[in-house]
Amino acid sequence: MKNPPNIKDVRIVDTLIADIDWSTGETLRIDLSGCTNPPFDVLCNPEFFSQMTRDDWGHGLDWPNGLSLGADRIYELCREQAGLPTASEFDRWMQRNSLTLSSAADTLGMTRRMIAHYRTGSRPIPKVVGLACRAIELEHMAH
């Protein structure tokens, strides 16, 4: 993801669960219970998890001993878990449908620049745009 949103603030809700305020204005919850493989399995320890901090620039979350997760991956996980469209899903939609930035813009009735933002993840994709992409793809499959 090019230019992912920055983490403005993070609050631990429970072990493996945190609420994150993003530079996009969104507040999204992340559940890291799926991170059970090393080295992230140590996060299951509530004492270790509670030592989570936002890095100085908002580019990720850090724990002791150099364990960290980047903002780009965290943002994708947050949006996936919230049922919101992600930049990687949007990019795959464009590829599956052989769409360029211009043709995707025409298809969705948007500007090429906004499509570029959605594709790179520099702007959050509204739920209605994700639903439109699904509907367009289903319509093409039906014909």
Model confidence at 1: pLDDT above 60: no
Contacts of 2 (CB under 8 A, 6+ apart): 120, 121, 122
Residue 2: per-residue pLDDT: 60
Task: Give the amino acid at 121.
Answer: G
pTM assigned to the model: 0.82
97: helix, coil or strand?
coil
Query: Can you tell me the distance from the alpha carbon of 117 to that of 125, in angstroms, rounded to the nearest whole number?
Result: 9
> Do 99 and 136 contact (CB within 8 A), yes or no?
no
Residue 139: per-residue pLDDT: 87
Q: What is the pLDDT of residues 50-89, one digit of tens each?
A: 999 999 999 999 999 999 999 999 999 999 999 999 999 9
Task: Compute the CA torsion angle 105, 108, 114, 120 (nearest 10 deg).
Answer: -90
Go through the domains of the chain in sequence order and give each one's CATH number.
7-81 (3.30.2020.10), 87-142 (1.10.260.40)
